[in-house]
Amino acid sequence: MAYEDIIYETGDGRATITINRPEKLNAFRMQTIIEMGEAFEAAADDESVGVVILTGAGERAFCVGGDVVDPTRTAAEKRHLHTLSHRVANAIRNNGKPVIAKVHGYCIGGGNELNVMCDLTLSGESGRFGQAGPKIGSAPLWWGCQLMPAVVGEKKAREILFLTRQYDAYEALEMGLVNKVVPDDQLDALVDEWCDDILRRSPQGLRLAKISMNTATDALYSSVQHGLELVALNHVYGPEPKEGIASFQEKRPADWRKFRGGEGPDPATPPLSSKGAAKKPAAKKPAAKPAAKPAAKKAPAAKAKPAAKPAATKAPAAKAKPAAKPAAKKAPAAKKPAPRMTSATKGSTGGRKATTRRTSR
């Protein structure tokens, strides 16, 4: 089937779905969602496919979420989009095959929601993750708010969703939002490696494992359903999304003071968390740490010391000291004078016996 917004490819036991709107940083519109749903369902039904890869075209982005430049505007459009969104989410979570998000560049907003829906995430060093909902008067209720606590923990999830900051690939790895990070030029090889490992496993075993691991979060479906309905009402009738979307389109900071009785920071002033400060955690990236571990492995060479133990085994030669004991046995030689005294005694005794004989005579 020919697609307009995505590229769908199969081969070598895998299906690859590429969001193909690089000029829009792979932001999705309604047509994109329709095509993604069809592609994921096709991959689920294709018995020759054992693993599915979701990625974005170009080098700048995986996906930055919904196309805010051309948003849906009526309640009917919103509800239809959300029905289609359910189809995509269900096709990812319920197809019984591992789905890998292959990320490079921006993975923001609805793009990051797609990321958390996927079973595994492999990222290039250029990966940048985050949510944008409250920045534009909305919230990530397409499995973002529902799954994020399960993926990174409650506190970190609230930080991501409330502060809407962006995190580099290594920070995402540290918090559990990503499985592994490599230089961008090694990402394809890493994905091939993981796919190869998956395809060497039992299809039915993988299906059973995925279904079982989804059990707890499947219970959150009602929250997604209700959340998307509320988002539709908010976007169509709420004043805050209008301000948020307008600020994005006009490339200016949104002014939320009008919704807080005039209180709050002036949007024209820079935030206290400067971009420079936000980049400080990047200092934790040093790949030197992993490199240090191999160096530590050389330490086993120090195990050559045990060779000294054999030298210690020579110590038993010291046990030759018991040989000194036999030397001590020579001491009885000092008792030789005693025999002399004995012979003298015998001599004197013999004399006495002779005298006695003379007397008897």
pLDDT (tens digit per residue) in 319-331: 444 444 444 444 4
**How confident is residue 356, by pLDDT bands cut at 50, 70 and 90?**
very low
Q: Is 317 exposed, middle or buried (0-12, 13-18, 19+ CB in 10 A)?
A: exposed
pLDDT given for residue 315 in this prediction:
44
Please check whether residue 303 lies inside any domain of the structure. Answer: no
pLDDT, mean over the chain: 83
Residue that finishes a domain, picked among 279, 296, 313: 296
My answer on whether 228 and 348 are in the same domain is: no
Instruction: Based on the fold, state whether residues 349 and 274 are members of the same structural domain.
Output: no
**Cβ atoms of residues 161 and 134 within 8 Å:** yes
Of 261, 279, 296, the position where a domain reaches its end is 296
Percentage above 90 pLDDT, the chain:
63
Distance of CA 132 to the CA centre of its chain: 23
- In this structure, the answer to whether residues 65 and 174 fall within a common structural domain is yes
| Confidence at residue 76, expressed as pLDDT on a 0 to 100 scale | 86
Q: Is residue 173 part of a domain?
A: yes
- Same domain? For 150 and 198 the reply is yes
Res. 78: pLDDT tops 60: yes
- Do 285 and 344 share a structural domain? no
Q: Identify the band that residue 249 occupies on the pLDDT scale cut at 50, 70 and 90.
A: confident
Question: What would the pLDDT profile of 169-218 be if each residue is shown by its tens digit?
Answer: 999 999 999 999 999 999 999 999 999 999 999 999 999 999 999 999 99
Quote the pLDDT of residue 79.
85
> Would 317 be classed as within a structural domain?
no
**Residue of higher predicted confidence among 205 and 335:** 205
CATH number for the domain including 48? 3.90.226.10
| Selected residue with higher pLDDT from 31 and 354 | 31
Q: Hunting for tokens 């319920």 — which residue is that?
A: 94
pLDDT of residue 329: 46
The predicted pLDDT at position 233 comes to 87
Predicted pLDDT of residue 334: 44
- Same domain? 281 vs 352: no
| pLDDT classification of 274: cutoffs 50, 70, 90 | low
Higher pLDDT, 78 or 127: 127
State the DSSP H helix or E strand holding residue 18, giving kind and residue range, or none if neither.
strand 14-19
pLDDT number for residue 319: 46
pLDDT at residue 357 tops 70: no
Assess if residue 135 is contained within a domain: yes
Same domain flag for 233 and 133: yes
> Which pLDDT band, with edges at 50, 70 and 90, does 285 fall under?
low
Residue 75 confidence (pLDDT): 83
Task: Give the number of domains in the chain.
Answer: 2
Choose the final residue of a domain: 296, 313, 347. Answer: 296
Same domain, 339 and 213: no
Q: What is the mean predicted confidence (pLDDT) over 233-249?
A: 89
The answer on 354 and 275 residing in a single domain is no
Q: What is the pLDDT of residue 275?
A: 55
Are 166 and 222 in a shared domain?
A: yes
248 occurs within a structural domain: no
Average pLDDT of the segment spanning 278-305: 48
pTM of the model: 0.75
Give the C-alpha separation, 302 to 305, whole Å: 6
Question: Does a structural domain hold residue 149?
Answer: yes
128: containing domain: 6-237+270-296
For residue 244, being part of any structural domain is answered with: no
On the question of pLDDT at 299 being above 50, the answer is no
Q: Which residues pair with 91 in a beta bridge?
A: none
Does 355 share its domain with 290?
no
Give dist(CA 164, CA 344) in Å, integer.
118
Which residues have C-beta within 8 Å of that of residue 12, sequence separation ≥ 6?
195
Radius of gyration of the chain from Cα atoms? 41
| Statement: residue 141 has pLDDT above 70 | yes
Per-residue pLDDT at 103 exceeds 80: yes
Give per-residue pLDDT as tens, 55-73: 999 999 999 999 987 766 7
DSSP 125: T
114 vs 71, residue with greater confidence: 114
d(CA 324, CA 331): 12
Beta bridge partners of residue 8, listed in sequence order: 17
Q: What share of the chain is helix, strand, coil (3-state, %, to 5)?
A: 60, 10, 25
- Whether residues 160 and 194 fall in one domain: yes
What is the percent of the chain where pLDDT is above 70? 75
Residue 17 counted as domain residue? yes
